[in-house]
Amino acid sequence: MSTVGKGFRHAGIFAGILAFAAMAASCKPPPGVKYPLDTLTPRSDLTQKFYDLFVEVTALDVIVLIVVVGAIFLAIFVFSTRTGHPREPSTKHSDVYLEFAWTVIPALILLAITVPTVHTIIQTQPDHWPPDTLQVRVLAHQWWWEFNYPTLGVETADEVHIPAGRAIHFELISKDVIHSFFMPSIGGKRDVIPGQENQITLVANPDATGEYYGQCTEFCGDSHANMRFRVFVDSPEDFDKWVKHQLEPPVKPTSGPAAAGAKIFANAPCAICHTIKGVSGFSKDYTYGFRGPDLTHFGSRGTLAGAILDNTPENVAAWIHNPDKIKPGANMPTLGLSGEELNDLVAYLESLK
């Protein structure tokens, strides 16, 4: 390669590194949250086990690194020959002790990693769970998450609530392509595959109440990066309150913009895909999942559109006005609503507390 060609290649690599650094710097977490997808802050028995394994293997790796780097330094600075002082080369054909050492030591290292890894895999994928375990069905769609609770009759989207201190069993089902359910602090990561039900079980979910972030981590199409969700670990009392509220019928506004919006909702194509209990709903068979998120208590959620937007009237209006602009490839069509009609519809959706 010519000097000019090399110069171009180096400039290209340098520009690539700069672009990556700029991109990494632009991935700012939301205000008030330091590291929303931190895998090193375990908040459940499951993630604690992953974390312990990670620390164990990393510690072992550090020891190996120190030994190898130490041996390299010794070879370079202590046992190598110096210019002008050549030593006789060794005449040995083999060294049985050395060969024994470099066969047995790596085997022991592998064993030291394999045993706790296999142990953790077995421990974290139990076949059965306590009788009062809460079942949560997670249905992955391009590009949003449906959560339903078969034993409670609750359906929601993009925001899942679980009670602290109780065993939780997530059944992972995909409606279309392969996704990956990743909630780093609470449940680690597991693929969601069409035709195969996977699971995540939190046997001893500790009292770590709070809001946690989740994200799809398997490339699943245009809006893969826009397929996020939130996990709310509630106190048992708050969880019961939440369930009770979710089971209540939706608000039925009788006057003002919200009432006008309710009429628009019923007559626009919204009602074909979105369920509002007692108002619309195309499928009661949850095995097949919904086409669009259940909106019965939409106004009580903090986010929308795959948890990428805060649930504010402005954001809801922007979303309905042009979903594809916010979430490229989204299945929700542009309805052509604007002005007063759009405002009324937004008022209705926000009233669904």
| Binding region for ligand CUA (CB under 6 A) | 140, 143, 179, 216, 218-220, 224, 227
The answer to whether 186 and 47 have CB atoms below 8 angstroms apart is yes
Closest distance of CB 266 from ligand CUA, Å: 31
What residue type is assigned to position 353 of the chain? K
E strand or H helix that includes residue 288: none
Closest distance of CB 307 from ligand CUA, Å: 12
| Residue nearer to ligand CUA on the CB measure, 216 or 352 | 216
Closest distance of CB 25 from ligand CUA, Å: 23
| Residue nearer to ligand CUA on the CB measure, 182 or 265 | 182
Interatomic CA distance for residues 26 and 182, integer angstroms: 22
Query: What DSSP designation does 224 have?
Result: G
Closest distance of CB 220 from ligand CUA, Å: 3
Phi, psi of 284 (to 5 degrees): -100, -5
| Residue nearer to ligand CUA on the CB measure, 8 or 219 | 219
- Tally helices (H) and strands (E) across the chain: 9, 12
Nearest-5° Cα angle at 219, 216 to 224? 55
Closest distance of CB 327 from ligand CUA, Å: 12
Nearest-5° Cα angle at 187, 308 to 115? 145
The answer to whether 140 and 214 have CB atoms below 8 angstroms apart is no
What radius of gyration do the chain's Cα atoms show? 28
What residue type is assigned to position 285 of the chain? D
The answer to whether 298 and 270 have CB atoms below 8 angstroms apart is no
Interatomic CA distance for residues 326 and 245, integer angstroms: 30
| Residue nearer to ligand CUA on the CB measure, 169 or 224 | 224
| Residue nearer to ligand CUA on the CB measure, 130 or 329 | 329
Phi, psi of 75 (to 5 degrees): -65, -40
Closest distance of CB 258 from ligand CUA, Å: 33
Closest distance of CB 210 from ligand CUA, Å: 24
| Residue nearer to ligand CUA on the CB measure, 143 or 213 | 143
Query: Encoding tokens for residue 189?
Result: 């990561």
What does the CA dihedral 35, 36, 40, 43 come to, rounded to 10 degrees?
A: 130
Closest distance of CB 216 from ligand CUA, Å: 3
E strand or H helix that includes residue 331: none
Q: State whether residue 293 is helix, strand or coil.
A: coil
| Residue nearer to ligand CUA on the CB measure, 220 or 352 | 220
| Residue nearer to ligand CUA on the CB measure, 50 or 143 | 143
